[in-house]
Structure 1
Amino acid sequence: MFFAPAVRTRATAPAYRSFDRSFERFVNDAFFGNGLGQGFRLEQDDKAWTVTLDVPGIAREDLSIDIEGAVVRIETKAEAKRQYKAAYELPQDIDVDATTAKLENGVLTLVLAKKQPVSNARQIEIK
């Protein structure tokens, strides 16, 4: 069997890249699930996101949760028996003060409060 290399010109490259990304997404979803893994659930309402993760065998003391803007990083400490590391980016910044985390029976539940946008618009007096 003979394989000839495909030559892509600059004009058709964007269309091929789009097809390549679509095909890659299809293969990943078909063979590896939805990309988020089993034991992950995300729910949303007007005020917060609720993230539920299965983390069996991880103690509360070994977990570290860091929030920076819209990114949530969850990882275990180096000396933990079981290692876990994940990062999730949400579409809106998170209000750290109103966020809660609970670990119960190997299930980590994060309630990530949405930061309400603050308007800097000021009304001025016309003289």
Structure 2
Amino acid sequence: MFVMPITRTAHRHAYNGQARDLSRAFDRLFDDTVERVFTTTKTATRQPALDLRETDQSYSVQLDLPGVAKEDVKVTIDGKRVSIEAAARSTVQTIEGERLLVRERSATAYARSFTLPVEVDESASQARLENGVLSLTLTKKVRPATQLTIG
């Protein structure tokens, strides 16, 4: 049996953060285990970790996409919704006279979607993939101020 102390003092927020982190860790563990056991295809879809920052003009997003070439990344922007899909290819080179004894590396697909509070201007946004990290600079769409005429 697992017992977690509950208190109503100022330290309450520290316990909430630790509980949330523990809950996320269990979710990731369960999702990864179930995915490995029940996946019938060779490619498993993973949800990459991301960092999201905001300035007055734009959002900055970094995602971990190890082993992915920039040709295999697809970023879709639909208003406030941003979707990222990527695939890491797994190539096996067969050499005459060799047998593959262990293969733990396989093709991996990544997918992540999120909704931002403000619409994104696709034409002013940028994407860059370096060392397995996808960096997006998503420029906020500026709406011109409108003035109503009083009749």
Question: TM-score interval w.r.t. the shorter chain?
Answer: 0.5 to 0.7
Give the drift of 1:123: 4.4
Structure 2 portions without partners, runs of 5+: 1-17, 28-46, 91-106
Residues 1:68 and 2:78 are matched in the alignment: yes
Match of 1:31 in 2: 23
Residues 1:55 and 2:81 are matched in the alignment: no
Structure 1 portions without partners, runs of 5+: 1-25
Which structure 2 residues correspond to residues 1-127 of structure 1 after superposition, within 5 A?
Answer: 29-32=21-24, 39-76=49-86, 81-123=107-149
TM-score by length of 2: 0.55
CA distance 1:29–1:38, change in 2 (3 Å): farther
For CA contacts below 8 A with separation 6 or more, give which structure has more relative contact order.
2
Give the drift of 1:42: 1.0
Q: Which amino acid aligns with 2:24?
A: F
Structure 2: distance between partners of 1:97 and 1:88 = 19
Let me know the Cα RMSD of the aligned residues: 2.9
TM-score by length of 1: 0.65
CA distance 1:79–1:57, change in 2 (3 Å): closer
Tell me if the contact between 1:64 and 1:77 (Cα under 8 Å) persists in the aligned partners: no
Structure 2: distance between partners of 1:92 and 1:69 = 8
Q: Which amino acid aligns with 2:22?
A: A
Give the drift of 1:32: 1.0
Higher strand share: 1
